[in-house]
């Protein structure tokens, strides 16, 4: 369906990893970034990938026909208004979704339970924090239908 999704412009990515920090903070439920993140291992829902010549951020593609949802053995992943969401209460951490996501976009949280990009619609940020905080506008939030 036509909706805004997160896209990257790899030629503009500086690999500064700020998106990872902004993501983890937005989903921490805390108001102080230092308290939320400092000295703790980061479990962001977006991550930087790349090599010597190219870097870019990877997060859920919110696929039209999501393999992760179809393959979830716990019925925990679901699609709502085009967005792929996870019911963490149902997830048993089997990682079948990690096994099938073609984009390598999924990773569990610190407790082994799946978490994922929900476009900051289910936290208090209200708009994708990775996009908002990207200093070089290498991550955009657009409807590419």
Partner 1 sequence: MNRYVIIGNGVAAAACIEGIRSTDPAGSIDVVSAERHDVYCRPLISYYLEGKTDLSRMRYRSQDFYDSANCSVHRGRKAVRIRKDAQEIELDDGSVLPYTALCLATGSSPFVPPFEGLDTVENRFSFLTLDDALALEKALTPESRVLIVGAGLIGLKCAEGIRARVAQVTVCDLADRVLSSILDAESAGIVQRHLEEHGIRFCLKDSAVLFEHDRAQTKSGASIPFDVLVLAVGVRANTSLLRDIGGETDRGILVDSCMRTSVCGIWAAGDCAQGYDLSTGTKRVLALLPNAVMQGYTAGVSMAGSSSSFDKGIPMNAIGFFGLHIMTAGVYEGDLYEEKDERSLKRLYTKDDLLKGFILVGRQERAGIYTSMIREKTPLSSLDFEAMRHMATTAAFSSEARRKKFGGVV
Q: Does 5 bind partner 1 (CB under 8 A)?
A: yes
Nearer to partner 1, 1 or 30 (CB): 1
Phi, psi of 98 (to 5 degrees): -65, -35
Q: Specify the residue for token string 């951490």.
A: 93
Euclidean distance between the first and the last CA atom of the chain, given in angstroms as a whole number: 7
Q: Least distance to partner 1 from the beta carbon of 98, Å? A: 6
How far is residue 79's CA from residue 71's CA, in Å, rounded to a whole number? 13
Select from 31, 34, 41, 64 the one that contacts partner 1 (CB under 8 A). Answer: 64
Q: According to the binding rule CB under 8 A, does residue 81 interact with partner 1?
A: no
Would strands 47-50 and 139-143 be described as parallel, antiparallel, or unpaired?
unpaired
Check binding of 90 to partner 1 (CB under 8 A): yes
The residue within the footprint of partner 1, chosen from 16, 36, 98, 140 (CB under 8 A), is 98
Separation between Cα atoms, residue 129 and residue 131, nearest integer Å: 5
Place of tokens 């990257």: 8
Candidate segments 17-25, 32-40, 53-61, 115-123, binder of partner 1 by CB under 8 A: 53-61
Q: State yes or no: residue 24 binds partner 1 (CB under 8 A).
A: no
Q: Are 101 and 68 in contact (CB under 8 A)?
A: yes
Name the site residues for partner 1 (rule: CB under 8 A): 5, 7-8, 10, 49-51, 54-56, 58, 61, 63-64, 67, 70-71, 73-75, 89-90, 92-104, 106-107, 112, 144-145
């Amino acid at each position: 369906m036509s909706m805004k999704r997160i896209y990257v412009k790899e030629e503009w990515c500086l690999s500064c990893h700020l998106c990872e920090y902004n993501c983890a903070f937005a989903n921490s439920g805390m108001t102080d970034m230092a308290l939320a993140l400092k000295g703790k291992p980061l479990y962001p829902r977006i991550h930087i990938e790349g090599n010597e010549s190219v870097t870019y951020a990877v997060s859920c593609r919110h696929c039209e026909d999501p393999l992760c949802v179809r393959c979830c053995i716990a019925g925990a992943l679901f699609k709502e208004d085009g967005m792929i969401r996870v019911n963490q209460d149902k997830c048993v951490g089997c990682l079948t979704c990690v096994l099938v996501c073609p984009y390598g976009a999924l990773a569990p949280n610190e407790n082994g339970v799946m978490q994922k990009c929900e476009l900051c619609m289910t936290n208090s940020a209200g708009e994708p924090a990775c996009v908002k905080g990207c200093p070089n506008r290498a991550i955009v939030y657009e409807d590419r239908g």
